[in-house]
Amino acid sequence: MSSASDTDSPPFDDLHRVLEQGAVRRAARMLNALQTAEIAHLLESLPHKERELAWNLVDAEHDGEVLTYLNDDVREQLIGQMDKSELIAALGGLDTDDLADLFPDLPQTLTREVLRSLDQQRRERLQTALGYPEDSAGGLMNTDTVTVRPEVTLDVVMRYLRRLKDGLPDITDNLIVVNRQGYYLGVLYLTDLLTHDPEETVAEAMTLAIKPIRATWSAREVATRFEQHDLVSAPVVNDQGHLLGRITVDDVMDVIREEADHQFLGQAGLSEGEDMFAPVLLSARRRALWLGVNLLTAFLAAWVIGRFEDTIAQVVALAVLMPVVASMGGIAGTQTLTLAIRGLAVGQLSRKNARWLLWKEMAVAAINSVVWALVVALVAMLWFGDPRIALVIGAAITINLLAAALAGALLPLALERFGIDPALAGGVILTTVTDVVGFLAFLGLATLFLL
């Protein structure tokens, strides 16, 4: 991909090669010249043994940051490989929000030691961050806010900034305006600070339109807010409006990416933290579970077919054609299901407009069922020369496409209502429905009209 183009993006393939050749020093130089996110990306693209080798070559000072960028599986592998003192050193330099993300993956014995190694302020910040779920606004936020009071002039603000000994935090597009009690009032964009008259007060130059994010919002709600308001950073408050921290767009991009991975990988029964090069036994165990669930549904379909053994024994053509009926239903239903899951994920499908989607999808299915019932009936007629088989398969396709649209449109909302993730369970249930309905309709009608 990117490495093949004319970009000056990191030379992944080169590094793979150098590692294979065992040119350790050169590999170390190449690795440590990269950004920490790039190192993480590269580690994820290496098989297990090469990954451990490469991890040992990463400078200790980068270790902590690289860990924050890794997916869960890979992170766990590499943490498992480090000894206690290495780990504590790596974690020491991290921001408290990054530390909070890593915390659940650390060995129990270590978390206490890490907590003890922090100063009072950092320990308190870490405990605040740990108080919110990882996928909530509270879990996403940083506590590195720079705040100003509304009554001071811009000139004073600028002098204050120039005295900050560490400069401003990365991705600072605004200063947060709070009152004396720490309640959020608005934001002062750096662009306004730079272009307004320095004699103006913060209150005059600040923007009130940025509504704060509540710490209890889900990560998905935060992402929607950022996307719809084109935000770079946003303040986070508690239920009383007290400023707690801020969320920056780099973390929001990660949320969007993770949600997308969850949706895409989830429907194949994979987790979004899946390591492409996970150990064989671990992968086999995880996959086995998914295969087992699907085997149960396959046996359910087989059981339905089994009810019609006598019919099939008399008309073997049915065995030849029955997968066509099931497969058409599965394909059509998956289209509706995919559209509905996506609508739900971006917040454009709710109970309010779901019936519109249902009617539209039923109408689409009705049209397509007529078209394809005719085509399939014609092919069946030409193939087996029996008009009754043609009629039966045409009718079965019609029934299955309508059932598929119904299931595809209703399943996601129904599953969500019961607290089941549609991205994970939707596909399995849908194809169970279309298999069972397809076989039942086709073989049932055949039993009625062909024998």
User: Binding to a copy of itself (CB under 8 A): which residues in 36-55?
Assistant: 37-38, 41, 44-47
Q: Which of 32, 147, 201, 216 binds a copy of itself (CB under 8 A)?
A: 216
Residue 117 or 268: which CB sits closer to a copy of itself?
268
Cβ at position 318, least distance to a copy of itself in Å: 8
21 binds a copy of itself (CB under 8 A): no
Residue 106 or 361: which CB sits closer to a copy of itself?
361
Residue 113 or 183: which CB sits closer to a copy of itself?
183
Over the window 249 to 268, marking each residue x when it contacts a copy of itself by CB under 8 A and - when it does not, the resulting string is xx-xxx-xx-xxx-xxx-xx
- What is the rounded CA–CA span in Å between residue 93 and residue 112? 17
Query: What region, left, alpha or beta, does residue 133 occupy, with left being phi > 0 and alpha being psi -120 to 50 degrees?
Result: beta
For residues 58 and 25, is the Cβ–Cβ distance under 8 A?
no
Helix, strand, or coil here: 201?
strand
- What is the rounded CA–CA span in Å between residue 91 and residue 441? 61
368 binds a copy of itself (CB under 8 A): yes
Q: Please, which residues have CB within 8 angstroms of residue 113's CB and are 6 or more apart in sequence?
A: 84, 88
Residue 96 or 311: which CB sits closer to a copy of itself?
311
Residue 103 or 439: which CB sits closer to a copy of itself?
439
22 binds a copy of itself (CB under 8 A): no
Residue 124 or 331: which CB sits closer to a copy of itself?
331
326 binds a copy of itself (CB under 8 A): yes
Q: Which of 298, 414, 420, 450 binds a copy of itself (CB under 8 A)?
A: 298
Helix, strand, or coil here: 118?
coil
- Region 121-180 residues binding a copy of itself, contact defined as CB under 8 A: 158, 161-162, 164, 167-168, 170-173
Residue 87 or 365: which CB sits closer to a copy of itself?
365
Considering only CA atoms, which of 351, 322, 366 is closest in space to residue 409? 351
- What is the rounded CA–CA span in Å between residue 91 and residue 93? 6
385 binds a copy of itself (CB under 8 A): no
Contacts for 302-310: CB closer than 8 Å, 24+ residues apart: 304/435, 304/436, 304/439, 304/440, 304/443, 305/439, 305/443, 307/443, 308/439, 308/443, 308/444, 308/446, 308/447
- What is the rounded CA–CA span in Å between residue 220 and residue 216? 11
193 binds a copy of itself (CB under 8 A): yes
Residue 331 or 448: which CB sits closer to a copy of itself?
331
- Region 390-419 residues binding a copy of itself, contact defined as CB under 8 A: none
- Pick the stretch among 54-62, 80-88, 97-105, 275-283 that binds a copy of itself (CB under 8 A): 275-283
386 binds a copy of itself (CB under 8 A): no
Q: For tokens 């050169």, what's the residue?
A: 26
Q: Which of 117, 195, 208, 378 binds a copy of itself (CB under 8 A)?
A: 195
Structure tokens given for 77: 């592998």
Counting beta carbons within 10 angstroms of the beta carbon of residue 73, is it exposed (0 to 12), middle (13 to 18) or buried (19 or more)? buried
